[in-house]
Chains A and B, each alone.
Chain A
Amino acid sequence: MRSPGPPVWRPWAPPGKGVIEVEGVGIRRVLLHEDAADSSLARTACDRLKKVPSRIVFEDRAGGEGKGEPGRIDLDKETLRLVAFPGEMLKPCPGTGEGYICCGYQILNVGVNCPLDCSYCILQAYINQPSLRVFANLPRALSGLADRIDRDPSRFWRIGTGEFTDSLALDPVVGWTDLLLPFMEGRRNAILELKTKTVRIEGLLASRTRDRIVVSWSLNSPRIVSREEHRAPSLEKRLRAAARCQEEGFAVGFHFDPLVRHPGWKEGYERTVELLDRWIAPKKVIWISLGAMRFMPGLKPIIRRRHPGSEVLRGEFVPGTDGKLRYFKPMRTEMYAHLRELLTAWHPDPGLYLCMERDDVWLDAMGWSPGTSKGLSDYLDERARTTFSIIG
């Protein structure tokens, strides 16, 4: 802990008593960490949150305050901390290995923790510090990233920001799209996927960038959406937002993840695909992923404690070779095959792929397999190239 000194920059009026309430987001406090105080992103956020009580925090790095045991700490989704991320912001998704095929995604780490509160969220077992943390040094980091991507033009980069937070939930506050979309304009060998459950598309629509931007929504059966995806907009709202993005020229994608076996799951997912059909033009969908519910054993007690009555732990979960618990193999194969049938009836080539699945499950459920993570990565790269040459 450094001794408090004069703040580098004090951008906002004396603390107010308001609260910023947008759907799924209720920020009641803003903490600007000293090491993030000179960032343009922090300035934007503080300007937009003028009514919210705020103060500058003097701490080393991203804040040692309140470090604790994942699953035990209060996630404190009502405090926004603007901090500097000290590490490498763009990293390959670690995937899961051990016989499971992964997609070769690159994670751009723009923040940690999410204002939504889905019962199944893995972040509950991962986060060891409270509050919504947004990395305010993103603008500076992007110039380094640009060099890295441009230096290797033969490589294709599929980048996403939706791994440790929702890609758009905080966008109206922190203005990620203001930074990321212009950044992508100059990157010919990269695409950016923004994964969300929200309808915060104002920033996207205000941008002139469309090329190589994928906006994707996480979908589920209506029962899972209403019972498990707390603070997230309804299915219909999400699909209307997706339709709007499609109309505005964005490529859209969908992620049925996690697929959950609940009473009436087959009909539930049918209903979701019906809604998809009502709102979305299938030809312009870049890809749709399927991933059955899976979790590290440590998440189970956390879900039980934080979300009593949740249905997501029901079913025959057995340990996979990577240590995660998954539905017994024929059960998840059945789920994938059902979704495949529904989605290919909607469109013969919806760009279906499985997230973290085995080769034999691919073959049984999808009728083909990319064989390896490299194979899946190549398949998705090709989808991206094809999609953007059509749209572009």
Chain B
Amino acid sequence: MVGKDSRKAPPHSGDDPQTPGHTLTEGARVEIPISDLDLDHGPYCTSFGRDETALRTSIQRAGVLNPPLVHRQGEGAWAVVAGFSRLRALRDLGERACSCRDLSGSGLTALNLLLLGLHENLGTRDLNPVEKAMALARLEPLVLKDDLEKTYLPLLGLPRRHGTIEDHLALNHAEVEVRLAVASGRLCLRAFRMLRTWSSADRIEITRWIHTLKYNTNKQLQLIDIISDLMDEKCVTAHSLLETGPMADILEQAGGNPPQAAARLLRALRRLRFPSLSAAEQAFHRSVTALELPRGVSVTHPAHFEGVEYRLDIRFRNGRDLVDTLDALARTSGLEALGPPWKGGD
């Protein structure tokens, strides 16, 4: 099932003197039991959370065209250098062994081997955030911090900021549920950054709800921000917050209509976070409703009542309709009482 390969090493990166040279020692072919290989961790692994369906189909039909690269570690165990996805696909297809290329005698350093696998991945696909985190975590002990910032952050397409490395190292150590969510894009990196200081249990729980309720990036950030504030203010965990009051009911029924439940949950949390503002908004809404404004007319208050100007919208079909609406509006009683609810405008 394993095909022949005349693979060359990736081109040398001019920025990095430690990248392997233009060609590699071919390395002997070895048949290795797949069960002997750690396909999820290891010093050179930068592969995580990928959908390997297409690869499995390809291997089923054509076999493994490029043999994975392996390296024998000090105590004799094999470490995969490149080809994690291929090996996982083979394992999932029920294969027990794979022909690999052994780089043990190549004289390549740990950094060379890591870069070999990394460049192979970068040459064929984009790394997801968790894979970038894995790459940084594995590079970090092998290169100077300055090099990590100047050479490897740009290589991985990451911004050169102090926080970038810190955030990615934390992501590398995050719970598998959280990493899967980040890798698949269901949890955005900014949201993960906000979750960093949370307890593991809370981080997993909120990740689960973000996934179930399908929050987009903005809503994820809003949700986490509000819950963080409430946790701080009420000295509670996210778990205890979500299992109480209206939140528990909303989440219990979330399966029925996730988008609706998502919006309801945010509203309920916002009411808890901003009780006075929410009460003012409701009072204003009631006062506008009580005015019985003409059809097509609406009044909105300034955002958060911070500004002083209210907004009147009129929808009309034609000039005649507009004149009629304005007449009706001018005759509406109680308009002069509109204003901030806390000043008796309700």
Interface residues of A (CB under 8 A from B): 68-69, 72-73, 99, 301, 304-305, 308, 313-316, 318-321, 326, 328-331, 358-360
| Contact in complex: A319, B303 (CB < 8 Å) | yes
Which of A305, A316, A359 meets B277, CB within 8 Å?
A: A316
Which of B193, B228, B274 meets A328, CB within 8 Å?
A: B274
Give chain B residues whose Cβ lies under 8 Å from the Cβ of A305. Answer: 197
Which of B163, B275, B276 meets A330, CB within 8 Å?
A: B276
Which of A72, A313, A328 meets B276, CB within 8 Å?
A: A328
A-B contact pairs, 9 of them (CB 8 A): A72-B162, A73-B162, A99-B308, A316-B276, A319-B304, A321-B306, A328-B276, A330-B276, A330-B340
Complex formed: what's the CA distance from A313 to B163 in Å? 23
In the assembled complex, the CB of B73 is this many whole angstroms from the nearest CB of chain A, namely 36
Given A313-B229, A314-B232, A326–B162 Cβ distance below 8 Å?
A: no
In the assembled complex, the CB of A263 is this many whole angstroms from the nearest CB of chain B, namely 11
In the assembled complex, the CB of A139 is this many whole angstroms from the nearest CB of chain B, namely 35
| Interface flag for B305 (CB, 8 Å) | yes
Would you list which residues of chain B between 172 and 200 have a CB under 8 Å from chain A?
A: 193-194, 197
Q: Which residue of A lies closest to B303 (CB)?
A: A319
| Contact in complex: B275, A318 (CB < 8 Å) | no
Chain A to chain B: the 4 pairs with minimum beta-carbon distance, closest first: A318-B304, A330-B342, A72-B162, A72-B163
| Contact in complex: B308, A358 (CB < 8 Å) | yes
Complex formed: what's the CA distance from A170 to B304 in Å? 41
Q: Which residue of A lies closest to B309 (CB)?
A: A99
| Contact in complex: B232, A318 (CB < 8 Å) | no
Would you list which residues of chain B between 324 and 342 have a CB under 8 Å from chain A?
A: 340, 342
Complex formed: what's the CA distance from A318 to B280 in Å? 13
Complex formed: what's the CA distance from A315 to B273 in Å? 8
| Interface flag for B125 (CB, 8 Å) | no
Provide the B144-167 mask, 1 if CB < 8 A to any CB of A, else 0: 000000000000000001110010
| Interface flag for B14 (CB, 8 Å) | no
| Interface flag for B17 (CB, 8 Å) | no
Give chain B residues whose Cβ lies under 8 Å from the Cβ of A320. Answer: 306
| Contact in complex: A301, B229 (CB < 8 Å) | no
Q: Which residue of B lies closest to A73 (CB)?
A: B162
Complex formed: what's the CA distance from A73 to B273 in Å? 31
Given A314-B233, A316-B277, A99–B161 Cβ distance below 8 Å?
A: no
| Contact in complex: A318, B162 (CB < 8 Å) | no
| Contact in complex: B307, A328 (CB < 8 Å) | no
| Contact in complex: B306, A318 (CB < 8 Å) | yes
Complex formed: what's the CA distance from A320 to B163 in Å? 28
In the assembled complex, the CB of A368 is this many whole angstroms from the nearest CB of chain B, namely 17
Which of A69, A301, A329, A360 meets B162, CB within 8 Å?
A: A69
| Contact in complex: B274, A316 (CB < 8 Å) | yes
Is the interface on chain B under 10, 10 to 19, 20 to 34, or 35 or more residues?
20 to 34
| Contact in complex: A328, B305 (CB < 8 Å) | yes
| Given A304-B228, A319-B306, 7 additional A-B pairs, CB 8 A | A315-B233, A316-B274, A316-B276, A319-B304, A328-B280, A329-B340, A330-B276
In the assembled complex, the CB of A220 is this many whole angstroms from the nearest CB of chain B, namely 20
Give chain A residues whose Cβ lies under 8 Å from the Cβ of B193. Answer: 301
Complex formed: what's the CA distance from A347 to B273 in Å? 38
Highest count of chain A CB atoms <10 Å: which of B194, B232, B275: B232
Provide the B121-162 mask, 1 if CB < 8 A to any CB of A, else 0: 000000000000000000000000000000000000000011
Complex formed: what's the CA distance from A69 to B229 in Å? 24
Q: Which residue of B lies closest to A303 (CB)?
A: B232
Interface residues of B (CB under 8 A from A): 161-163, 166, 193-194, 197, 228-229, 232-233, 273-277, 280, 303-308, 340, 342
Which of A69, A301, A326 meets B306, CB within 8 Å?
A: A326
| Contact in complex: A68, B304 (CB < 8 Å) | no
In the assembled complex, the CB of A68 is this many whole angstroms from the nearest CB of chain B, namely 5
In the assembled complex, the CB of B331 is this many whole angstroms from the nearest CB of chain A, namely 29
Q: Which residue of B lies closest to A308 (CB)?
A: B197
Given A72-B161, A314-B232, A328–B194 Cβ distance below 8 Å?
A: no
Q: Which residue of A lies closest to B278 (CB)?
A: A316
In the assembled complex, the CB of B71 is this many whole angstroms from the nearest CB of chain A, namely 36
Which of B161, B229, B305 meets A329, CB within 8 Å?
A: B305
Complex formed: what's the CA distance from A318 to B162 in Å? 30
In the assembled complex, the CB of A227 is this many whole angstroms from the nearest CB of chain B, namely 14
Which of A69, A308, A318, A326 meets B161, CB within 8 Å?
A: A69
Given A316-B276, A328-B274, A330-B276, A68–B306 Cβ distance below 8 Å?
A: no
In the assembled complex, the CB of B238 is this many whole angstroms from the nearest CB of chain A, namely 14
Give chain A residues whose Cβ lies under 8 Å from the Cβ of B275. Answer: 316
| Contact in complex: A329, B163 (CB < 8 Å) | no
Complex formed: what's the CA distance from A303 to B19 in Å? 41
Give chain A residues whose Cβ lies under 8 Å from the Cβ of B276. Answer: 316, 328, 330-331
Given A68-B162, A313-B232, A330-B342, A99–B307 Cβ distance below 8 Å?
A: yes
Give chain A residues whose Cβ lies under 8 Å from the Cβ of B162. Answer: 68-69, 72-73
Give chain A residues whose Cβ lies under 8 Å from the Cβ of B194. Answer: 301
Give chain B residues whose Cβ lies under 8 Å from the Cβ of A314. Answer: 229, 232-233
Given A69-B163, A304-B197, A313-B232, A329–B274 Cβ distance below 8 Å?
A: no
Give chain A residues whose Cβ lies under 8 Å from the Cβ of B340. Answer: 329-330
Give chain B residues whose Cβ lies under 8 Å from the Cβ of A318. Answer: 274, 277, 304, 306
Give chain A residues whose Cβ lies under 8 Å from the Cβ of B304. Answer: 318-319, 328-329
Complex formed: what's the CA distance from A360 to B197 in Å? 39
Give chain B residues whose Cβ lies under 8 Å from the Cβ of A99. Answer: 307-308
In the assembled complex, the CB of A99 is this many whole angstroms from the nearest CB of chain B, namely 7
Q: Which residue of B lies closest to A317 (CB)?
A: B229
In the assembled complex, the CB of B344 is this many whole angstroms from the nearest CB of chain A, namely 12
Q: Which residue of A lies closest to B273 (CB)?
A: A316
In the assembled complex, the CB of B198 is this many whole angstroms from the nearest CB of chain A, namely 11
Give chain B residues whose Cβ lies under 8 Å from the Cβ of A360. Answer: 308
Given A314-B232, A321-B307, A328–B277 Cβ distance below 8 Å?
A: yes
Q: Which residue of A lies closest to B159 (CB)?
A: A69
In the assembled complex, the CB of A65 is this many whole angstroms from the nearest CB of chain B, namely 13
Q: Which residue of B lies closest to A318 (CB)?
A: B304
Q: Which residue of A lies closest to B234 (CB)?
A: A314
In the assembled complex, the CB of A120 is this many whole angstroms from the nearest CB of chain B, namely 14
Give chain A residues whose Cβ lies under 8 Å from the Cβ of B303. Answer: 319
Give chain B residues whose Cβ lies under 8 Å from the Cβ of A328. Answer: 274, 276-277, 280, 304-305
